[in-house]
């Protein structure tokens, strides 16, 4: 993967081997939403009885597919017969025409896979403000053939400005029954909590109800997809969908607090975090992966607000790109987060190296050691802001000239 200069230098060495999920089939094709020849259409068929839950962007504009999914999941109580994903057209801010196009495309896909249209879910990604040309989807579907999921190909079909396909998987047990989890995601720019220009689709063969899936997904999203930021912008189409096919005959689980779900919760959390961090690794123009840790805040929410301010500061991010441990910019970001802090207790650390302690420059500050540390591809910035118990951890990347180039040329 790495020899290709167009691929992020932070990309994993290879696409992981994901477990097969019983009850899931996929078809991949090209509808032609891009000028160049590439797959841009993914159809998933789920076994009858599959249940699903979703977490969606909080962007007030939204999109036709996110609106459809919210309504469908509510109307069917989480029944999911299939999923249609297209890249190259967001079908957002398109009014009634976009809603109608979304419905027609789902009707065509539902007929293709033999699922009720009311149990179909949709996701789109690409340029905002363009009505989806559903005729292209209808024309492509007859040439697409359902088969066991080829996860790398499925992940590649949903990419936009991504430079590598993203996948993660895990296995665990629920009450002695082995279950598998596999997920794919896309995202590179317009990435921020609640949520981002990202799509993620996670599948398990466990037999779990829609309410349980919804609870688990909402909880685990907070420490994964809502704990990353590339540029502080969240898009109109973002969603994470979690499907449970029920093919692994797990004994009945009454609610999400059941202790028998402990291993599954941990495995799901691992998959979601892995996918989320891969998105940051593929941040547009990124050369550095940065973890920001905040402790000593008055609450976890306050700590997260401070961490996000540090992560999204253009001055902090450009300093990281320049391999400059400009800790004064970190202090600035802490102060402008508008959160309660104790100035005399603030400390800033890059890796194990202290830049500031107790509200002033550290007595053992070593510029040469700092400069050497900043050359690493993966960095940790840790700050203490007071005596409180609140803490948070977020991931971001640096801000380079390449980010400007990618977004300046996006539509041209």
Question: Which positions are catalytic?
Answer: 197
**Which secondary structure element, helix H or strand E, spans residue 321, and what is its range?**
helix 314-321
Beta strands in 11-77 (DSSP E): 24-29, 41-46, 51-56
Helical axes 327-336 vs 314-321, angle rounded to 10° = 160
Rounded-to-integer distance, Cα 343 and Cα 187, Å = 37
Angle (CA) 157-161-163 rounded to 5° is 75
Alpha helical stretches, state H, 50-113? 64-76, 95-113
Q: Checking DSSP bridges between strand 177-187 and strand 166-174, what pairing results, if any?
A: antiparallel
Residue 104: count other Cβ atoms within 10 Å of its Cβ: 16
C-alpha distances in angstroms, 51 versus 23, 41, 76, 211, 376? Answer: 11, 23, 9, 9, 43
Residue 154: count other Cβ atoms within 10 Å of its Cβ: 24
Cα first-last separation, the chain: 27
Of the candidates 64, 75, 80, 84, the residue with the CA atom closest to the CA atom of residue 119: 80
Q: Checking DSSP bridges between strand 120-127 and strand 82-89, what pairing results, if any?
A: parallel
Q: Are 115 and 82 in contact (CB under 8 A)?
A: yes
Q: What Rg do the C-alpha atoms of the chain give, in angstroms?
A: 22
For residues 282-306, one letter each, b for 16 or more C-beta atoms within 10 angstroms of the residue's C-beta and e for the rest, the string is bbbbbbbbbbbbbbbbbeeebbbbb
3-class secondary-structure state, position 67: helix
User: Any idea what DSSP says for residue 300?
Assistant: H
């Amino acid at each position: 993967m790495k020899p290709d200069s167009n691929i992020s230098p932070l990309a994993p060495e290879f696409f992981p081997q994901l477990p097969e999920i019983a009850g899931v089939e996929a078809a991949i094709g090209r509808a032609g939403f891009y000028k160049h020849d590439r797959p841009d259409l993914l159809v998933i068929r789920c076994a009858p009885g599959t249940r699903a839950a979703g977490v969606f962007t909080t962007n007030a504009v939204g999109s036709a597919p996110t609106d459809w999914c919210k309504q469908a999941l509510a109307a069917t109580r989480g029944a999911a017969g299939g999923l249609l994903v297209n890249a190259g057209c967001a079908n957002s801010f398109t009014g009634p025409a976009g809603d109608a196009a979304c419905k027609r495309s789902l009707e065509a896909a539902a007929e293709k896979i033999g699922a009720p249209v009311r149990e179909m879910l949709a996701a789109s990604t690409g340029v905002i403000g363009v009505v989806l040309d559903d005729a292209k989807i209808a024309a492509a579907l007859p040439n697409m053939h359902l088969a066991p999921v080829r996860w790398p190909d499925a992940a590649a079909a949903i990419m936009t400005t991504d430079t590598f396909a993203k996948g993660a998987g895990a296995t665990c047990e629920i009450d002695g029954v082995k279950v598998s989890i596999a997920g794919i995601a896309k995202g590179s720019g317009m990435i921020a909590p609640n949520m981002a220009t990202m799509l993620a689709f996670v599948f398990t063969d466990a037999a779990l109800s829609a309410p349980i899936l919804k609870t688990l997904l909402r909880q685990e999203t907070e420490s994964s997809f809502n704990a990353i930021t590339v540029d502080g912008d969240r898009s109109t189409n973002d969603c994470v969908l979690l499907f449970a096919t029920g093919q692994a005959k797990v004994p009945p689980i009454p609610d999400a607090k059941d202790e028998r779900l402990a291993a599954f919760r941990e495995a799901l959390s691992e998959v979601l975090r892995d996918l989320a961090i891969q998105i940051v690794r593929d941040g547009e123009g990124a050369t550095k992966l940065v973890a920001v840790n905040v402790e000593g805040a008055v609450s976890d929410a306050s700590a997260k607000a401070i961490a996000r301010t540090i992560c999204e500061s253009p001055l902090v991010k450009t300093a990281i790109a320049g391999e400059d441990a400009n800790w004064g910019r970190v202090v600035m970001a802490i102060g402008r987060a508008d959160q309660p802090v104790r100035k005399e207790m603030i400390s800033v650390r890059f890796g194990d190296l202290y830049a500031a302690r107790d509200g002033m420059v550290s007595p053992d500050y070593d510029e040469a050691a700092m400069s050497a540390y900043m050359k690493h591809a993966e960095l940790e910035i840790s700050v203490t802001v007071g005596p409180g118990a609140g803490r948070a951890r977020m991931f971001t990347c640096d801000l380079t000239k390449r980010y400007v180039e990618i977004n300046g040329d996006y539509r041209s």
